Chains A and B, each alone.
Chain A
Amino acid sequence: AQSVTQLDSQVPVFEEAPVELRCNYSSSVSVYLFWYVQYPNQGLQLLLKYLSGSTLVKGINGFEAEFNKSQTSFHLRKPSVHISDTAEYFCAVSDPGGYQKVTFGIGTKLQVIP
């Protein structure tokens, strides 16, 4: 069975500072990996995803993530955060194809401090 661990439930960071949100997964097969963002009072929207190919994935709003198979990690990074990045971020994993469900982490709340 697959699982996702988001190690930090909350991450405070000053505006214009860099940030890394950590995600580790476990799966017995190859994986698809996703980061979703949820702004206050909204549903989730996709930030970026890794399906195959280059391990460095670029997403919207200046975010990027790196797939590290040996460390089973998919950490999300941004070199300089903005107030508008304040949101909850969810890492998710799925097995490619078939009818296996997507498993979400418990989320990390990013609080950008002015």
Chain B
Amino acid sequence: DVKVTQSSRYLVKRTGEKVFLECVQDMDHENMFWYRQDPGLGLRLIYFSYDVKMKEKGDIPEGYSVSREKKERFSLILESASTNQTSMYLCASSLETLRGGLTDTQYFGPGTRLTVL
């Protein structure tokens, strides 16, 4: 079974703090993703990575950055947290396949519910 773990289930931070969300997958997947999930908006892609040290912007990258120094680990960084970044953050990974590319089945972590006060 693929396992995707996220460092925290719940996190409370203050406005202006630097926040790190960590994600680790144990199945040697090439592709990793960060989404935020908000009621009525579904999942929105923040950043993704298809290889170590590679990153691509998703739909809503503003206010976020990412780091992928090792294949199994993908970090999301909020440089200066703001209240509008209060959300559920979901990490996912997928296997790079000749047919599927970046777009085949994704495996999700349990999520981190971040509250910024």
Interface residues of A (CB under 8 A from B): 9, 32, 34, 36, 41-46, 49, 51, 90, 94-102, 104-107
In the complex, which residue of chain A has the Cβ closest to the Cβ of B100? A97
- Checking B40, B101, B107 against A99 with a beta-carbon cut-off of 8 angstroms, the contacting residue is B101
Interface centre among A36, A97, A100, A105 (most CB of B within 10 A): A97
B108 at the interface (CB under 8 A from A): yes
Mask for B21-43, Cβ within 8 A of A = 1, else 0? 00000000000000100001111
Q: Which residues of B contact A102 (CB under 8 A)?
A: 45, 103, 106
Interface residues of B (CB under 8 A from A): 4, 35, 40-43, 45, 48, 50, 56, 58-59, 90, 92, 99-111
Interface of chain B, main secondary structure? loop
In the complex, which residue of chain B has the Cβ closest to the Cβ of A44? B108
Listed A/B pairs (21) with beta-carbon separation below 8 Å: A9-B40, A42-B111, A43-B109, A44-B43, A44-B92, A44-B106, A46-B107, A51-B100, A90-B43, A96-B103, A97-B99, A98-B102, A99-B101, A100-B101, A100-B102, A102-B106, A104-B35, A104-B42, A105-B42, A106-B40, A107-B42
